[in-house]
């Protein structure tokens, strides 16, 4: 095998065929896409903001004061969600479609950043990015990472244009987009800081001043609602005590210990699982193979990426693979630049090693697409059918995704509350203890899905077994759901 063979393999024609295949797989996974847990979290917050004027999580009692007001929310995402509900109505599809628009805008920015390169190079960059399994998963999921990725990449695009043209409008837009990334999620601050240090590195003081003015102004919008009454104090308390997060331990640690731990464990994010391990390995290899070349020829791109990685490690709320998405468009383009240079120099082994890894990632991507389609189902219709067995306006606890589209017809609660409560308990709830606590809220029906049969977290109804002493008894059952009803006495 020679470099000529490689060039024939990665021809424009073959790239187009691969992109068509990728597009078909993406579209296939969008049909009846399953509802991810956090889409319930964010969707419900937006729902109550529209219907009661405050962000709330009424389905999660006993956790801080969330049923009355939830202050630690991702403001821009929830405001956009509220706008979607107001304009289009209540449906998880509309939320997912918004995320898809952000994803497509990210592709547009990749195309524009690489516009001066050949079409083949642009195609390769898109293929490397699109075949990352986590991108396929998150591209149609209502969460903040894709919008932040879009804002962050857009901010970089305009900052790079500013460094070339020195037009003030470019740096202002860059500052605006980095601020919007922060407003979408606090971890979006990495783009504000990365943009600041990029301009500082090039000693562009005027640009630095304009960028900082705009980005800081937009970031401050996040804090405006917190200056009402004692909201700021409540926000800080909630932030420190959010269940399943490590804010409290980080706050109580020595700052140097915290910094060391954050930096020394950042590799875990890159190799969290197979959804990102492939692209991470390729990225590290091209840095080893062509780090000096990249620094010399694509310094702005490489430097911004280094700043991102560093500041996410230092400032990120916790280690989670989903935040690696902030880096992925940059990593894909860096790989494409390095790979092209490796092939140009005739490095056969390195070129085919990268190709082999890219093919492995492509295979994982295809498998991920198949897995997603196997999970997909017409959720709203399923929820409507199961809830048809329960009188309207009843108090119900069950799978959280029942809020789509039944939240306006029933008072819906989720088992997530009890999962959070157990985190601080010496022993987990027994089934009897759980149902007694559920009954204290006046909940009439418990809905169990098939996942509850073997769920290690929501473990209380293993194999759908109901304790004979339980105050709830079987009411309705089919292959997918078991409904329990509280005794009339």
Q: What is the pLDDT of residues 129-139, one digit of tens each?
A: 999 999 999 99
CA dihedral 331, 334, 336, 339 (to 10 degrees): -120
pLDDT in tens, 345-367: 989 999 999 999 999 999 999 99
Contacts of 74 (CB under 8 A, 6+ apart): 42, 144, 184, 185, 186
The answer to whether 301 touches 287, Cβ cutoff 8 Å, is no
- Res 2: pLDDT: 75
pLDDT at 344 over 70: yes
Taking 90 as the threshold, does the pLDDT of residue 417 lie above it?
yes
Count CB neighbours of 430 within 10 A.
11
pLDDT at residue 90, as a whole number:
96
Asked if the model's pLDDT at residue 112 lies above 70, the reply is yes
Q: What is the pLDDT of residue 311?
A: 94
* Total count of residues recorded for the chain: 489
293-299 long-range CB contacts below 8 Å, 24 or more apart? 293/338, 293/341, 294/334, 294/337, 294/338, 297/337, 298/334, 298/337
pLDDT of residue 256: 62
What are the pLDDT digits (tens) for 22-50? 999 999 999 999 999 999 999 999 999 99
Residue with tokens 């049923």: 67
User: Does residue 323 carry a pLDDT above 70?
Assistant: yes
Residue-level pLDDT at 227: 86
Q: What is the pLDDT of residues 226-251, one digit of tens each?
A: 888 888 888 988 888 888 665 545 55
The label of the residue with tokens 């509900």 reads: 85
pLDDT for the residue numbered 4:
77
What is the spatial order of strands in the sheet that 445-449 belongs to? 411-414, 395-398, 445-449, 481-486, 472-477
**Cα 298 to chain center, whole Å?**
28
Q: Which of 36, 35, 38 is nearest to 244 (CA)?
A: 38
Token duo for residue 366 = 């295809």
pLDDT of residue 318: 77
Please report which residue ranges of 35-144 form alpha helices under DSSP H: 37-52, 75-88, 92-113, 119-130, 133-138
pLDDT above 90: residue 9: no
Sequence-ordered strand ranges (E) for 321-398:
395-398
Burial 441-460 (b: 16+ CB within 10 A, else e): eebbbbbbbeebeebeebeb
Question: What's the mean per-residue pLDDT of the chain?
Answer: 93
Label the pairing between strands 481-486 and 472-477. Answer: antiparallel
As given in the structure block, the two tokens for residue 468 are 């004979």
Phi and psi at residue 395, to the nearest 5°: -90, 125
The per-residue pLDDT for range 277-290, each reduced to its tens digit, is 999 999 999 999 99
**Residues 438-468 pLDDT 10s:** 999 999 999 999 999 988 889 999 999 999 9
What phi and psi, each to the nearest 5 degrees, are found at residue 285? Answer: -65, -45
Whole-structure pTM value: 0.94
**pLDDT class of 254 with cuts at 50, 70, 90:** low
Residue 302 near residue 293 (C-beta atoms within 8 A): no
pLDDT value for 255: 60
pLDDT for 237 equals 87
Residue 413 confidence (pLDDT) above 90: yes
CB contact set of 263 (below 8 Å; sequence gap of 6+): 313, 314
Predicted local distance difference test score (pLDDT) of residue 257: 59
Q: What is the pLDDT of residue 316?
A: 82
CA distance 144 to 323: 9
| pLDDT per residue as tens digits for the range 67-106 | 999 999 999 999 999 999 999 999 999 999 999 999 999 9
> What's the pLDDT at 253?
56
What is the per-residue pLDDT for 6? 77
């Amino acid at each position: 095998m020679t470099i000529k063979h490689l060039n024939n393999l990665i021809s424009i024609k073959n790239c187009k065929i691969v992109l068509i295949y990728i597009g078909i797989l993406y579209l296939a996974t969008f049909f009846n896409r399953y509802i991810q847990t956090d889409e319930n979290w964010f969707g419900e917050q937006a729902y109550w903001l529209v219907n009661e004027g405050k962000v709330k999580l009424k389905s999660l009692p006993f956790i801080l004061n969330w049923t009355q007001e939830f202050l630690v929310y991702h403001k821009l995402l929830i405001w956009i969600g509220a706008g979607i509900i107001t304009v289009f109505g209540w449906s998880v599809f509309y939320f997912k479609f918004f995320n898809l628009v952000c994803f497509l805008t990210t592709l547009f920015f990749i195309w524009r950043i690489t516009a001066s390169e050949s079409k083949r190079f642009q195609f390769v960059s898109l293929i490397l990015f699109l075949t990352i399994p986590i991108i396929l998963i998150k591209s149609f999921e209502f969460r903040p990472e894709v919008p932040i990725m879009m804002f962050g990449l857009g901010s970089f695009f305009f900052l790079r244009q500013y460094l070339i043209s020195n037009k003030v409008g470019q740096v202002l837009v860059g500052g605006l987009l980095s601020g919007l990334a922060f407003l979408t999620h606090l971890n979006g601050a990495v783009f504000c800081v990365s943009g600041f240090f990029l301009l500082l590195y090039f000693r562009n003081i005027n640009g630095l001043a304009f960028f900082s003015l705009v980005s800081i102004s937009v970031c401050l919008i996040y804090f405006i609602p917190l200056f009402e009454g004692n909201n700021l104090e409540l926000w800080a308390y909630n932030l420190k005590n959010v269940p399943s997060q490590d804010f409290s331990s980080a706050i109580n640690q020595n700052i140097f210990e915290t910094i060391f731990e954050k930096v020394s464990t950042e590799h875990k994010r890159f190799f969290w699982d197979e959804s990102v391990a492939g692209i991470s390995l390729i990225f590290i290899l091209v840095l080893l193979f062509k780090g000096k070349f990249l620094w010399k020829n694509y310094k702005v791109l490489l430097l911004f990426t280094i700043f991102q990685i560093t500041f996410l490690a230092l400032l990120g709320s916790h280690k989670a693979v989903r935040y690696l998405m902030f880096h992925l468009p940059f990593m894909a383009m860096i790989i494409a630049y390095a790979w092209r240079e490796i092939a140009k120099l005739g490095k056969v082994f390195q070129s085919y090693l990268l190709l082999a890894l890219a093919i492995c990632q492509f295979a994982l991507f295809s498998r991920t697409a198949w897995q997603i389609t196997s999970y997909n189902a017409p959720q709203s219709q399923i929820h409507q059918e199961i809830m048809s067995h329960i009188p309207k306006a009843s108090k119900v606890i069950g799978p959280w995704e029942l809020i789509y589209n039944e939240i306006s017809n029933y008072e819906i609660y989720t088992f997530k509350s009890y999962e959070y409560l157990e985190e601080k308990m010496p022993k987990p709830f027994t089934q009897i203890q759980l149902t007694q606590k559920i009954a204290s809220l006046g909940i009439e029906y418990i809905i169990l899905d098939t996942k509850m049969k073997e769920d290690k977290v929501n473990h209380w109804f293993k194999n759908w077994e109901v304790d004979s002493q339980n105050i709830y008894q079987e009411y309705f059952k089919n292959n997918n759901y078991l409904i329990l009803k509280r005794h009339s006495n």
